[in-house]
Amino acid sequence: MNNSTQISHFTLAAYFDSGLFKYLLLMIIMSLYMFIVCANVLLIVIICMNRSLHEPMYLFLCSLFVNELYGSTGLFPFLLLQILSDIHTVSTSFCFLQIFCFFTLGVMSYDRYLAICYPLEYNKHMTSSKVAILTAFVWLYSVLATVVMMSLSAPLQLCGNTIQKVYCDNFSIVKLACSDTSVNNIYGLVYMFTIIVSLISFILFSYLKILKVCFSGSKQTRQKAVSTCTPHLASLINFSFGVFFEIVQGRFDMSSVPIMLRIFLSLYWLTCQPLFNPVLYGLKMSKILLPLIIVMTTVIKTM
Q: What is the CATH number of domain 2-302?
A: 1.20.1070.10
**Number of residues that make up the chain:** 303
Query: 56 and 290 in contact (C-beta within 8 Å)?
Result: no
In 3D space, the residue among 67, 94, 70, 71 whose CA is nearest the CA of residue 82 turns out to be 94
Query: 60 and 112 in contact (C-beta within 8 Å)?
Result: yes
Distance between CA atoms of residues 121 and 186, nearest Å: 36
Which residues of the chain fall below pLDDT 50? 1-5
The pLDDT assigned to 30 comes to 92
In 3D space, the residue among 192, 87, 113, 91 whose CA is nearest the CA of residue 145 turns out to be 192
- Going from N- to C-terminal start, the domains of the chain cover 2-302
- The per-residue pLDDT for range 104-126, each reduced to its tens digit, is 776 555 555 555 555 555 556 56
Please report, as a single letter, which amino acid is at residue 228. T
The pLDDT assigned to 85 comes to 85
The pLDDT assigned to 33 comes to 92
Query: 173 and 92 in contact (C-beta within 8 Å)?
Result: no
The pLDDT assigned to 214 comes to 64
Q: Tell me phi and psi for residue 23, to 5 degrees.
A: -75, -35
- Hey, is 117 helix, strand or coil? coil
CB contact set of 239 (below 8 Å; sequence gap of 6+): 109, 113, 269, 272, 273
